Amino acid sequence: MRIPSRRCWPFLVWAASGLIPAGLVGADEPNPPVKPTMIVVVGASGSPQYEPMFTEWADRWTQAARTAGLQLVEIGRTPESPELTDKKQFREAIDEAARQPGVDLWLVMIGHGTFDRRDARFNLRGPDVSAVELNGWLKPVDRPMAIINSSSASAPFLTALATPKRVVIVATKSGAEQNFSHFGDFLSQAIIDPTADLDKDKQTSLWEAYLRASRLTAEFYSSDGRLQTEHALLDDNGDGQGVRSDQFRGLTPIERTTDGKPLDGQTAHQWHLIRNATDSALPPDLLKKRDALESAVLQLRDRKKSLPQDEYLRELERLLVELAELNESATVVAPPATNP
């Protein structure tokens, strides 16, 4: 087995991260590894017409999470309880996630949002949650996180939640985009759509799903002859700025950053909800090491113009040799990939 090469970036591109699926853990293992977690929060529908739509989007995420063997927490999908509001359940789910450090956490928010020029809120049944509140809840959580808020007026959540350890996706570029957002529909489809796999490694990354969903959203408005009222953003380098899909051609950025920061998208391309057979068989330490090496190569490439050529080539060679050695060691722990 060889770690798949990626064709859309020079030298290599990004791979998946994750844990050994539960099926590969021995039944008699005393302390099986903690699995990644997905928290799916369905907000208040506000109008009967939106309830079946939100249900369908949530079903796609939850079915994919079950297929991937994730721990799944669902909020807002059972009858309301005055004693245990959706907001309280949301907070308790995050508190529980904080007690399981290290493994991936997916947080998917489906519903409506509001912005009053000061606070952005995600509309729950009962009390809403603001971007500032959610950031406070998440501070104790020491886990890699993918946070997806597909509601209207969700842009301030990106600003509030962005850190280098998080992938944050929002449906709008500002809090002023307050019309109903269709982006969540397209993203819930793209995350499980094999045709969204741009680098042809037989798995769809969160980055690839974001690019596909953003472009399908634009096509939706264009084909309907309507002005586009939502423009999704993704941030995964922690600067709180985010990028739009139209800043990329395929997986390749149209422009490079000049401040030395990693490009948005590199981390998101290492997040896969359903991984291919080869990556599913690899242990987490090799996956994490491979991700780190691939990111280092991409960051080195972004600094190429600022480095002497011999220094750049020496460092590139060192990283690629490490990747080759990791590639060889992977043949010991992972079986050859087979075609179905």
Structure confidence at residue 217 (pLDDT): 98
- What is the amino acid identity at position 35? K
Q: Residues 196, 209: contact at Cβ < 8 Å?
A: yes
Number of CB atoms found within 10 A of residue 330's CB: 21
The reply to whether 112 and 234 lie within a common domain is yes
Which residue, of 256, 274, 292, is where some domain finishes?
A: 274
Q: Are residues 315 and 253 in the same domain?
A: no
- In the prediction, which pLDDT does 151 show? 98
Domain co-membership, 112 together with 169? yes
Q: Hey, what are 77's tokens?
A: 């999908």
Give the pairing of strands 129-130 and 120-122. antiparallel
Q: What does the pLDDT read at residue 334? A: 52
Whether 136 maps to a domain, the answer reads yes
Print burial letters for 214-243: b (CB count within 10 Å at least 16), e (below 16). bbbbbebeeeeeeeeebbbbbbbbbeeebb
For residue range 141-163, list pLDDT tens digits in order.
999 999 999 999 999 999 999 99
| Domain contains 14 | no
Q: Are 104 and 17 in contact (CB under 8 A)?
A: yes
The residue range of the domain holding 172 is 34-274
- Measure the CA–CA gap between 13 and 6, rounded to whole angstroms: 5
Q: Name, in order, each residue with C-beta under 8 angstroms of 31's C-beta and a sequence gap of 6 or more.
A: none
Instruction: Show the tokens assigned to 44.
Output: 């208040």
Find the angle CA(274)-CA(278)-CA(280) to the nearest 5 degrees: 45
Same domain, 292 and 199: no
Which one, of 109, 81, 79, 80, lies nearest residue 94 by Cα? Answer: 109
Domain with 164 in it: what CATH number? 3.40.50.1460
pLDDT of residue 189: 98
Q: Is residue 27 part of a domain?
A: no
- Contacts of 22 by beta carbon, 8 Å cutoff, 6+ apart: 32, 35, 69
Amino acid 108 reads V
Of the candidates 242, 274, 306, which is a domain's last residue?
A: 274
Q: Residues 283, 267: one domain?
A: no
283 lies in the same domain as 250: no
In a domain, 171, yes or no: yes
Domain count, the chain: 2
What's the whole-model pTM score? 0.83
User: pLDDT below 50 — which residues of the chain?
Assistant: 1-29, 339-340
